[in-house]
């Protein structure tokens, strides 16, 4: 039944509705694939009993003609989403075996529409990382391998488990989150499609918080249309989230296939970073040519404050993280390491429960929020954030969308940047601006580097203009004709 796992989400939904196979058969095929792919470490928790029970219920609804938008579709869920009665750890020891008594709004929306949960996906601890190496459950291994070496590669982060699972056909699609690029960068490194929606498009309720003003949920999928189908179900106004936007959710898949002739596409000159690999530059030029051939007008634009985005992000995000993570102290749930005093208990619990990268960011955040440094760092970073948003606003007065690379390189080796946090942070150089401005952005696989590893192009749109991104993304997808797949080496690695 391995052919079932190779289906796109759209094809699987069509097959289910036509009764060519059942949801139980689809779930069983994916569960078998997951069991044979544990060398990738994409899942931190497999839920076969739950998956088969949900699939059986889907088959009954399909038989009765009552199937939902995603009825019977098998998905993986990033372990940052709270799932009722199913362990949710955010990739951290400090949450232990925490089983929420509630369901995140995004996953509740998916179950409402008939989706089936295969399990919880690995991730960087508390979503802090760009390589999926900070997870308490160990690193995820990218399904792709370089032509030059068989050494294990990173799938990117923090949604590395989500991207690896979709790339290796261990799920039809997956939920993910993006705080500074954590959907788009892994999508680029694994040859998958990922969209970070407009801030507020998807509810944050029930998602373990990293940086509350930056976090946003979105899907990772096999195709642009699959991502559009998933986002339609994931999105929607939620009164439980004060930042959720009270706007209607369109049928995003309806934008796929629409002509793009006459649209103006901006190419920001500041994204031509020093030392950019030749293959990234060449791919960007091909993307420009593809959109021009489709009838788009290409416009040179400037985003002058781009070079300040990474410094601003790595002040704002840790500041918010230090505040959000203050609640993990061993008192109410999760890990607890006893000490002779209350303060000792706090200190020992947090020291044992948080990994090195999380501790680093909490310390940075506490420092920039401290008396005497708040104005010099945090307040200044917020002013820079405003300037970055203004840059985008000015650009969108002239153009309809922007085209950039997604990541500064193809997949890198596990361990390559582990000892150098700054080198790791540079993976977000093309993505953090979008989070700071609250805009939507889509990564589409568009080519291979000289070693046969996937590379992505990024489309950035106006707030709430995800439909246009899917419209343009489908054009890039068709022009790139990206059909490369990783060789399934992991099936014999167990």
- Contacts of 299 by beta carbon, 8 Å cutoff, 6+ apart: 264, 265, 266, 267, 398, 399
**Number of other CB atoms surrounding residue 215 within 10 Å:** 25
State the catalytic residue, choosing from 10, 78, 120, 222: 78
State the catalytic residue, choosing from 146, 182, 233, 322: 182
78 is catalytic: yes
Whole-number pLDDT of residue 387? 98
Length, in residues, of the chain: 494
CATH of the domain at 96: 3.90.1300.10
Q: How confident is the model over 137-185, as pLDDT tens digits?
A: 999 999 999 998 899 999 999 999 999 999 999 999 999 999 999 999 9
Q: Mean pLDDT check: name the lowest of 66-80, 199-213, 332-346.
A: 332-346
261 is catalytic: no
Whole-number pLDDT of residue 420? 72
Q: How confident is the model over 416-456, as pLDDT tens digits?
A: 876 677 667 677 889 999 999 999 999 999 999 999 999 99
- Contacts of 166 by beta carbon, 8 Å cutoff, 6+ apart: 76, 172, 173, 174, 190, 192, 220, 221, 222
Q: Give the containing element (helix H, strand E) for 445.
A: strand 441-448
- Average pLDDT of span 330-338: 91
Percent of the chain residues past pLDDT 90, beyond the cut: 93
Asked if the structure places residue 481 within a domain, the reply is yes
State the catalytic residue, choosing from 88, 104, 158, 443: 158
196 is catalytic: no
Which tokens in the block code for residue 258? 């629409």
State the Cα–Cα distance between residues 206 and 78, nearest whole angstrom: 12
Asked if the structure places residue 278 within a domain, the reply is no
Looking at the DSSP bridge assignments, the partners of residue 174 are 76, 220
Asked if the structure places residue 327 within a domain, the reply is no
Asked if 403 and 458 touch (Cβ cutoff 8 Å), the reply is yes
Kindly give the pairing relationship between strand 264-268 and strand 297-301. parallel
Asked if the structure places residue 343 within a domain, the reply is no
Kindly give the pairing relationship between strand 264-268 and strand 74-78. unpaired
How many independent structural domains does the chain possess?
Answer: 1
Q: CA 353, 366, 357, 194 torsion: positive or negative?
A: positive
- How many CA atoms lie within 13 Å of 285's alpha carbon, on the beta-carbon side? 7
Q: Select from 269, 312, 300, 280 the least CA-distant residue to 433.
A: 312
Q: Select from 120, 119, 125, 149 the least CA-distant residue to 139.
A: 125
Q: How confident is the model over 87-96, as pLDDT tens digits?
A: 999 999 999 9
Asked if the structure places residue 409 within a domain, the reply is yes
Between the alpha carbon of residue 282 and those of residues 287, 289, 306, 483, the distances in Å are 9, 11, 21, 19
Q: 51 — alpha (psi -120 to 50), left (phi > 0) or beta? A: alpha
Asked if 79 and 176 touch (Cβ cutoff 8 Å), the reply is no
Above 50 in pLDDT, residue 494?
Answer: no
Asked if the structure places residue 374 within a domain, the reply is no
Q: How confident is the model over 41-85, as pLDDT tens digits?
A: 999 999 999 999 999 999 999 999 999 999 999 999 999 999 999
Asked if 259 and 293 touch (Cβ cutoff 8 Å), the reply is no
Asked if the structure places residue 269 within a domain, the reply is no
Q: Burial-class residue 376 by CB neighbours within 10 Å (0-12, 13-18, 19+).
A: exposed
Q: Burial-class residue 204 by CB neighbours within 10 Å (0-12, 13-18, 19+).
A: buried
Asked if 371 and 284 touch (Cβ cutoff 8 Å), the reply is no
- How many CA atoms lie within 13 Å of 216's alpha carbon, on the beta-carbon side? 31
Range of the domain at 253: 2-262+399-492
Asked if 345 and 336 touch (Cβ cutoff 8 Å), the reply is yes
Phi, psi dihedrals of residue 299, rounded to the nearest 5°: -125, 130
Asked if the structure places residue 422 within a domain, the reply is yes
Phi, psi dihedrals of residue 74, rounded to the nearest 5°: -95, 120
Confidence of residue 1 (pLDDT cuts 50, 70, 90): low
Between the alpha carbon of residue 339 and those of residues 336, 344, 349, 483, the distances in Å are 9, 5, 9, 56
Q: Burial-class residue 316 by CB neighbours within 10 Å (0-12, 13-18, 19+).
A: buried
Mapped onto helix, strand or coil, the DSSP state of residue 173 is: strand
């Amino acid at each position: 039944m391995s052919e079932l796992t190779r289906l796109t989400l759209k094809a699987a939904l069509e097959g289910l509705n036509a009764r060519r196979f059942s949801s139980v058969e689809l779930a069983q095929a994916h569960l078998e694939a997951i069991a044979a792919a544990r060398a990738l470490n994409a899942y931190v928790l497999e839920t076969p009993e739950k998956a088969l029970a949900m699939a059986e219920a889907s088959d009954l609804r399909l038989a009765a003609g009552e199937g939902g938008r995603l009825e019977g579709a098998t998905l993986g869920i990033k372990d940052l989403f709270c799932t009722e009665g199913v362990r949710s750890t955010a990739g951290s020891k400090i949450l232990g075996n925490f089983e929420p008594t509630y369901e995140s709004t995004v996953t509740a929306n998916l179950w409402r529409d008939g989706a089936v949960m295969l399990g919880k996906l690995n991730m960087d601890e508390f979503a802090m990382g760009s390589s999926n190496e900070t997870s308490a459950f160990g690193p995820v291994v990218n399904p792709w391998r370089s032509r030059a070496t068989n050494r294990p590669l990173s799938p990117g982060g923090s949604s590395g488990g989500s991207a690896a699972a979709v790339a290796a056909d261990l799920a039809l699609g997956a939920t993910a989150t993006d705080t500074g690029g954590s959907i788009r960068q892994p999508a680029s490194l694994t040859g998958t499609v990922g969209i970070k929606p407009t801030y507020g498009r998807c509810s944050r309720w029930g998602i373990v918080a990293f940086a509350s003003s930056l976090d946003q949920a979105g899907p990772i999928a096999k195709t642009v249309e699959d991502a559009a189908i998933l986002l339609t179900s994931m999105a929607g106004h939620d009164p439980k989230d004060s930042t959720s936007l009270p706007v209607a959710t369109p049928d995003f898949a309806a934008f796929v296939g629409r002509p793009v002739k006459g649209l103006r596409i901006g190419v920001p000159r500041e994204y031509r970073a020093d030392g950019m690999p030749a293959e990234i530059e060449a791919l960007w030029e091909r993307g420009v040519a593809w959109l021009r051939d489709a009838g788009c007008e290409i416009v040179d634009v400037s985003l002058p404050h781009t070079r300040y985005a990474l410094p601003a992000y790595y002040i704002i995000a840790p500041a918010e993280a230090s505040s959000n993570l203050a609640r993990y102290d061993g008192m109410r749930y999760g890990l607890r390491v006893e000490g002779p005093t209350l303060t000792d208990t706090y200190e020992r619990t947090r020291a044992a429960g948080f990994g090195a990268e999380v501790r680093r960011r909490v310390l940075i955040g506490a420092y920039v929020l401290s008396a005497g440094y708040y104005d010099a760092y945090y307040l200044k970073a917020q002013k820079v954030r405003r300037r970055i948003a203004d840059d985008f606003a000015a650009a969108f007065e002239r153009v309809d969308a922007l085209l950039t690379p997604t990541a500064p390189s193809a997949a890198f080796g596990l361990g390559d940047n582990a000892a150098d946090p700054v080198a790791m942070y540079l993976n977000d150089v093309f993505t953090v601006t979008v989070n700071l401005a609250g805009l939507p952005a889509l990564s589409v696989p568009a080519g291979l580097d000289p070693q046969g590893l996937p590379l992505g192009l990024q489309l950035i749109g106006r707030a709430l203009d995800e439909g246009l991104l899917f419209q343009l993304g489908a054009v890039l997808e068709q022009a790139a004709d990206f059909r490369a797949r990783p060789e399934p080496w992991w099936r014999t690695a167990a």
